[in-house]
Homo-oligomer: A and B are copies of this chain.
Amino acid sequence: MKIDPNSKIDLSAQIAKAIRDGIIAGTLPVDERLPSEAELADQFAVSRPTVREALKRLAAQSLIRTQRGATGGAFVNRLRFEDAYGQHVTTSTLLLSMNSVSFETACEARFALERACAPLSAKRRTADHLATMRAETHRQAQPGLSDEAFCASDVAFHRALVDAAGNPVLSYQLAGAVEAMQPLMNMITFTARNRATIVEIHTEIANALDVHNACTTDALLCQLADYTESLGKRVFATHNAAKNDGSAEA
């Protein structure tokens, strides 16, 4: 890969791209050691700080790891689902907060995705997944629970539901839906929601999964989706009413 010093693009971005392309193409296999920063600087005919900026870009994407010392250097990282998970959640959260996505759109996407793995979860759920879901449901029924803790427990419940599908690819792809959208919805609807209703649906979902009943699970998720959407509608109606009252008084 050639580097063009006259390009509009930063040298460090070009170098990062060159190395990234090598990783994607498989030219640089996992755990391969890259040349030292000094050697890379020579190869690309740039200074060491520029090379370092390029390497930091790759490190930010978990594509490489660096190690100091005699046998240290930058190594191609095996990208793990856990590593990608966090980034996916962060990105999804920012996408939602920065792009004025309507509540309905987010809600629709979130439940469509969760319903996608419900049949698999009904088939494959282990005792462990069921135990987690029931423990979280039980926690959600505690009277003194803070809204934050309720939300966290809610996320844990749905995450267990997704993980029950036993498909790591699905779990990863759904991370954004569960861990980014669920808190968003909790934040919007927590004033209007009835915890008992949610706890009841959660309990029934666990029961349906227990007996491997995919149909009922799906129906319950639809019920939860409808309830969430109705909450959202109510909250926004209240907001708008208050806003109109305010402008009328002013």
Contacts and interface: CB of A to CB of B under 8 A. Distances in A.
Interface string A73-99: 000001111001001101111111111
A130 to B, nearest CB: 21
A72 interface: no
Interface in A129-144: none
A118 B101 CA distance: 21
Interface stretch (A57-65, A152-160, A234-242): A57-65
A232 interface: no
B90 A84 contact: no
Would you call the interface of chain A mostly helix, strand, loop, or mixed?
helix
Interface string A36-52: 00000000000001001
B106 A169 contact: yes
Contacts of A97: 26
Contacts of A54: 56
Given A56-B12, A113-B173, A167-B109, A84 B91 contact: yes
A202 interface: no
Contacts of A170: 108-109, 112-113
A53 interface: yes
A116 B120 contact: no
Given A53-B53, A79-B98, A95-B169, 15 more contacts: A24-B90, A30-B98, A53-B56, A57-B59, A63-B94, A79-B94, A96-B169, A101-B168, A106-B169, A108-B170, A109-B173, A113-B116, A113-B173, A173-B174, A173-B177
Listed from nearest, the 7 A-B pairs whose CB atoms lie closest are: A116-B116, A57-B60, A109-B169, A60-B60, A109-B170, A53-B56, A112-B116
